[in-house]
Amino acid sequence: MADIKIEIDGQIVNAKAGETLIAVTDREGISVPRFCYHKKLSTSASCRMCLVDIEGTPKPQTSCSTPVSDGMKIHTQNEKAIASQKAVMEFLLINHPLDCPICDQGGECELQDVAVEYGSDVSRFSEGKRVVAVSDIGPLIQTDMTRCIHCTRCVRFGSEIAGMMEMGGTGRGEDLKIEPFLAQGITSELSGNMIDVCPVGALTSKPFRYELRSWQMASVDSIARHDLTGSNIYAQTYKGQVKRVVSGDNDSVNETWISDRDRFSYEGLSHENRLLAPQIKVAGQWKEVEWDVALDFAIKGLNKNVLNNRKAHQLGGLASNTATTEEFYLMQKLLREVGCENIDYRLNVNNLEQAIHLDSTLKLEDLEQVDQALVIGANLRLEQPMINHRLRKAQLAGAQISAINVKAFDYNHTTNHTTVAPQEIAAVLAGILKIILEKKSVEIPAYLSAIKPNKLSLDLAEKLLNANRSVLILGEHIVNNAQAAGIAQLVAAIAKQIKADTLNVSMTANALGAQHAHFVPSGAGMNVNKMLQADMRAFLLLDIYPEYDFHHSNSAIEALSKEDVFVVSLNSFSNDLVSQYSDVLLPMASMYETSGTHVNINGDIQSFAAVVKAPEEAKPAWKILKVLADLLELPGFHYENSSQVSSELTHQSAHEYNQDVTLELNTKSTTIETIWTHSAYHSDVLLRHAKSLSMSKIGQTNFASMSASTAKELSLEEGGCYLGVPVDITPSVAERCVFVSSNQATKSGGVS
């Protein structure tokens, strides 16, 4: 677009030909009132509040829909413009209930703010006001549509951003209503953003309803830590409690949107299950004690069981992938200082000999620019919502998206979805690679010699070869595939041949931070699965809940519960199984209550401060680990804050993986494969304690999906149970496999 000059209120400003007038005024800091306009949504020009006077036009024009042209002269504050804006304001207030004293939007309501300047203190409207009945659209959003001014921001958000047009206008004239189309209400994983875009109090946060006014709360910028995006957020607090979370702006990460789990997970902080005081187990009974007593008990137990006897090789350190990078670093440093290399965070992996090692080579912003994407083993919409949002934007811009999954998921963008049994995925990718090598006249390696590509491999190879910029996305359903490491190698090989990018979303939360902090075994150290089978004498555990976190949950509980094993557990929530096997319980701060860093898929090391103080006796885990190291008289733990830990970590050498994998492309399996995932709102301990999320449709997800023939082979019927999860018989799942998405703990003690 060519550079032009226009005049606004007597001021000459630079602009681009064709851009909207409201974009120019916003950039220049010139105030123009608006309700329907939003910088991330399409233009509707429905509220008419942004009327301005343009010389040469007989009537005022809407600045949100008017493109600028060279030499244009605009008046935003002359008599004609202000009279028009005041007339629109009077019209908008005709049916508005004017219930600001009881409206949750009071104090941050765009209508309220604009009415102060453009409204009148006397209404000429004397007829009865319009009333719209309240509708229940779910546990997250409270409606009061009598306040609605029909700006359609929520409608446009649903269709353009969420990709699910769940709200719309029904009726005409005074009977026009904005309401959900379906009785089930709003089900999008991004629905809470409609609260942010609503300019009045028609859509507000149901968990926050009647809590506080905006001016009573302090707002602290922070990072959401439930997935690989690390969305920028503002946590709003009152008297030491998080009361609300809203989106922050960062175009390179989450733009101006956040997922519902990032918005509402804070509810878990006040759950009655919080671990609030140190406890030690004496003669089989739990006893609350002071911190110095609990720490002394922990040190004596570790010394007696492993350290004084030079048996550090029988000590294990395990941590949840939701830990901060500093917590990972301090814990591995402590363990290595005492001679222990048994360190791991990959608790959910069945076979660590088949661990996935694949670098992500594409930034989130650049994901929008691809013209071809292949998704392998992922339901991105629920597992990585903001990454999926970027991919959807690429599709809307013309990109083709293909997916290879064991189940055809309900994506919110157009996808060529193919269901493939888990044991066939490697063969499909090998076929793609072989076709690409043949097309490029590259020598075929021996491991591909017996591969006979099928039609799916041929179609996908053609699409990738014809693309200008493509990406291969490897998802978390591949983590426990019997050929996981080989699949990752095939993805890397395909990407190398066609100069494509890769995105590894097989990990989540702060798993990249764990890698950055070297929180994996090295040398003779044991991984988590080997620890569970070995003759261990002690464990140091960080925020672990075995029935949810371990793939081999029964094996973990059995190994940790042995009579001669001493277990020190740092936990943020109470848990019966943790109490069963632990000897010391040290209450740690949860999300929002500690400072640290989170590493996102861009490789950004995102810092955040503690938003509130941890309740009662709970302490930040990095401080607990530092004190444990001091009591063990270990050198190099003289930190005063987490920033010093982070600074030390940045000077460490990067950890490199060396793994040779032999590809065995066997597509035959004598057993029915099970892919077990936790539903999106039960993937970490804070989410599992967030009441409103658990009540939502996504939070209620709990089914074992399988085809009719697979159900028959397993002697199961619709409504029956598989591994304790209700059976869902559907043609959307590949043959001879079961896809379990559960909001319950693992029932089988480890599933493939």
Kind and range of the H or E run holding 401: strand 400-405
Report the pLDDT value the prediction gives residue 364, as an integer from 0 to 100. 96
Q: How far is Cα 536 from Cα 557, in angstroms, rounded to an integer?
A: 13
* Sign for the pseudo-dihedral over CA of 597, 599, 603, 609: negative
Instruction: Kindly list the strands in the beta sheet with 721-722, ordered across the sheet, starting from the edge strand earlier in the chain.
Output: 673-678, 737-742, 703-706, 725-729, 721-722
Residue given tokens 């088949």 in the structure block: 354
Q: Right CATH number for 127-270 from 3.30.70.20, 3.40.50.12160, 3.50.50.60, 3.30.565.10?
A: 3.30.70.20
- The token pair that represents 119 in the structure block: 């409204």
Q: How far is Cα 47 from Cα 150, in angstroms, rounded to an integer?
A: 8
Phi-psi region of 259 (alpha: psi -120 to 50; beta: other; left: phi over 0): beta
DSSP summary character for residue 443:
P
Report the pLDDT value the prediction gives residue 573, as an integer from 0 to 100. 98
Cα distances from 349 to residues 52, 427, 484, 506, 665, in angstroms, run 61, 22, 10, 11, 20
Whether pLDDT at 310 is above 80: yes
Rounded mean pLDDT of the chain? 94
Q: How far is Cα 241 from Cα 270, in angstroms, rounded to an integer?
A: 8
Q: What is the pLDDT of residues 690-731, one digit of tens each?
A: 999 999 999 999 999 999 999 999 999 998 999 999 999 999
Q: What is the pLDDT of residues 576-633, one digit of tens each?
A: 999 999 999 999 999 999 999 999 999 999 999 999 999 999 999 999 999 999 999 9
Phi, psi of 439 (to 5 degrees): -65, -30
For residue 4, what are the contacts with CB-CB under 8 A and spacing of at least 6?
14, 15, 16, 17, 68, 69, 70, 71
pLDDT mean over 345-355: 95
For residue 337, what are the contacts with CB-CB under 8 A and spacing of at least 6?
629, 632, 634, 635, 636
Q: How far is Cα 698 from Cα 680, in angstroms, rounded to an integer?
A: 7
Cα distances from 119 to residues 82, 112, 202, in angstroms, run 11, 9, 19
Bridge partners, residue 318, by sequence: 344, 541
Q: Confidence band (pLDDT; 50, 70, 90) for 662?
A: low
Q: What is the pLDDT of residues 14-32, one digit of tens each?
A: 999 989 999 999 999 999 9
Whether pLDDT at 655 is above 70: no
- What pTM does this model have? 0.95
Q: What is the pLDDT of residues 256-296, one digit of tens each?
A: 999 999 999 999 999 999 999 999 999 999 999 999 999 99
DSSP-assigned states of every residue in 655-694: P--------------SS-EEEEEE-GGGSSHHHHT-HHHH
Q: How far is Cα 259 from Cα 719, in angstroms, rounded to an integer?
A: 31
Whether pLDDT at 748 is above 70: no
Q: What is the pLDDT of residues 157-198, one digit of tens each?
A: 999 999 999 999 988 887 889 998 877 889 999 999 999 999
pLDDT mean over 313-337: 98
Q: Confidence band (pLDDT; 50, 70, 90) for 654?
A: low
Q: Confidence band (pLDDT; 50, 70, 90) for 664?
A: low
Domain 3-92 has CATH 3.40.50.2300: no
For residue 101, what are the contacts with CB-CB under 8 A and spacing of at least 6?
none
Q: What angle do CA 82, 83, 87 make, to 5 degrees?
A: 115
Report the pLDDT value the prediction gives residue 665, as an integer from 0 to 100. 64
Burial track 508-543 (b if 16+ CB lie within 10 A, e otherwise): bbbbbbbbbbbbbbeeebbbbbebbeeebbbbbbbb
Phi, psi of 586 (to 5 degrees): -110, 115
Q: Right CATH number for 357-505 from 3.60.15.10, 3.30.870.10, 3.40.228.10, 3.40.640.10?
A: 3.40.228.10
Q: What is the pLDDT of residues 375-408, one digit of tens each?
A: 999 999 999 999 999 999 999 999 999 999 999 9
User: Please, are residues 667 and 694 in contact by the beta-carbon 8 Å criterion?
Assistant: no
Report the pLDDT value the prediction gives residue 663, as an integer from 0 to 100. 63
User: Please, are residues 95 and 201 in contact by the beta-carbon 8 Å criterion?
Assistant: no
User: Please, are residues 201 and 109 in contact by the beta-carbon 8 Å criterion?
Assistant: yes
* % of the chain beyond a pLDDT of 90: 90
DSSP summary character for residue 288:
E
Q: Confidence band (pLDDT; 50, 70, 90) for 734?
A: very high
Helix pair angle (110-118, 79-92), 10° resolution? 130
Whether pLDDT at 749 is above 70: no
User: Please, are residues 181 and 25 in contact by the beta-carbon 8 Å criterion?
Assistant: no
Residue given tokens 């005709």 in the structure block: 94
**Torsion, CA 691, CA 695, CA 697, CA 701, rounded to 10:** 80
Q: What is the pLDDT of residues 426-456, one digit of tens each?
A: 999 999 999 999 999 999 999 999 999 999 9
Q: Confidence band (pLDDT; 50, 70, 90) for 129?
A: confident
Whether pLDDT at 370 is above 70: yes
The CATH number that domain 279-350+511-650 falls under is 3.40.50.740
Burial class (CB in 10 A: 0-12, 13-18, 19+), 610: middle
Q: How far is Cα 720 from Cα 536, in angstroms, rounded to an integer?
A: 40
DSSP-assigned states of every residue in 345-358: --TT-S-GGG----
Report the pLDDT value the prediction gives residue 752, as an integer from 0 to 100. 35
Q: Confidence band (pLDDT; 50, 70, 90) for 70?
A: very high
Bridge partners, residue 219, by sequence: 236
Q: How far is Cα 482 from Cα 141, in angstroms, rounded to an integer?
A: 42
User: What does the domain layout of the chain look like in residue ranges?
Assistant: 3-92, 127-270, 279-350+511-650, 357-505, 673-742
Whether pLDDT at 670 is above 90: no
Kind and range of the H or E run holding 586: strand 584-587
pLDDT mean over 480-506: 97
